[in-house]
Amino acid sequence: MSSDTATRLEHDSLGEMAIPSTAYYGIQTQRALDNFHISGIGINHFPNLIRAFGMVKKACAAANRKLGYLTDDKYKVIAQACDELIAGQLHESFCIDVFQGGAGTSTNMNANEVIANRALELLGFHKGEYEHLHPNDDVNLSQSTNDVYPTAVRLGVVLSHDELMKALDGLAYEFRQRGVEFADIIKLGRTQLQDAVPMTLGQEFEAFAINIREDIARGDEIVKLFREVNLGGTAVGTGINTEPEYSNLAIEELAHICGFEMVRAANLIEASWDMGAFVLYSGMLKRIAVKLSKIANDLRLLSSGPRGGLNEIALPPMQPGSSIMPGKVNPVIPEVVNQVCFQVIGNDMAVTMAAEAGQLQLNVMEPVIVYNVLSSMQLLVRAAKTLAEKCVSGIQANIEACRRHVEASVGIVTALNPYIGYEKSAALAKEALKSGRTVRELAIEKGWLTEAQLDDILDVAKLTAPRRRGRKIVAGS
């Protein structure tokens, strides 16, 4: 029999199964692989989740050793196996579908089995020889899925958060650079898709940057909630099968391993079922998505044309836009960002419904909560980087189109309000639109303002910031 087809026999409370002899996972993982053919996406799609499990299992092993329940030899090989997970090794052995019943038990046992079998190798034994080191009795010692899984998934979010914030910061930086570059380009501001008042293109892009940086600040605050964990609560938060000192010891070890301050929840029973941190963080991800989608919409509008639209900016041409219209180039990068944002918004609804579905002392829907939050984070990271690198960094301003829109608009009549009043300003706007003449020439013709006064009032550069108006001009004076 070749090594590719060789198997080993393992058993659990339901019976026996043949497991590939080379597999680091065991029988409970195999049952999950057989039972959950759902999405085709394995939990190893999220490397930080696997790394977090390695950290949690190592912390628990260290606490058990300190309390005298785990020998130094067993601790050493368990810790080494966990270090390999943390370093990104053995992740291919975590192939259970992200959609799974059992409140994460399959994922926890996947970790227990992989760590146990790797530890057995380090001890010089074969995979599956659990009489020497057992997935449950040794790797899962003093633990339950119901405290290990929530702790690991929270840490997985914390580990992934920094990458998301860096991607958003990079996008904000590119918008800020365009804001500086376009600082002196006058353009027409618009409200409700109608002409409003002059502004600069730089101001528009600076606002995009500030908008994103607001969410970086909010995200850094909200993610701190995930540092409060229920490790040591075991099944329902009462800490059954643990020593009184175990919870604090394990969390202290976890903080040392992961490099973040981790805090024991004030009430482990409540912390075992509460999904509030996920709801809040997912809501923040939705907020980011809503904002990014709005910005993507603006970029598509501002670049519309090139002849029949606003054409105030030009996006970098990334690929031909049509199979039938030669020369057409579409705003494909903002379009894909829009689609990512729609997905993230939908993911948030799934998180909301799953968080509400918790019952009594456990929320069994946590796997789908974790999947949607981590998935949204990955999507937003990639979308932000793509938008920054393939779109915003190469945006060019169409200076002449920007100025032409300002000069042709009656929106500048707003600047006359403080000097001739709203009624006369509205009359000027109406007549200008009807006749095709400019606001300037009509105001002079009616004798409401002088040419010199209009030169000062309608200086478009002065219309983009607050200014002292001085003495109110009386009409006809």
| Closest to 198 in 3D by CA, of 402, 450, 399 | 402
What burial letters (b/e) apply to 10-33, b meaning 16+ CB within 10 Å?
Answer: beeeeeebebeeebbbbbbbbbbb
Long-range contacts of 353-362 (CB under 8 A, 24+ apart): 354/275, 355/275, 355/276, 355/278, 355/279, 358/273, 358/275, 360/273, 361/236, 361/237, 361/269, 361/272, 361/273, 362/103, 362/146, 362/236, 362/272, 362/273
Pull the structure tokens for residue 63: 């606490």
- Whether 322 is catalytic is yes
Q: Would you say 472 and 419 are in contact if contact means Cβ atoms under 8 Å apart?
A: yes
Q: Distance between CA atoms of 178 and 197, rounded to whole angstroms? A: 21
| DSSP summary character for residue 216 | H
Residue 250: other Cβ atoms inside 10 A: 30
Which of 2, 3, 322, 376 does the annotation list as catalytic? 322
Q: Which residue type is seen at 315? A: L
H-helix or E-strand spanning residue 188: strand 186-191
Q: Would you say 223 and 281 are in contact if contact means Cβ atoms under 8 Å apart?
A: yes
**How many residues would you count in the chain?**
477
Catalytic center residues: 322
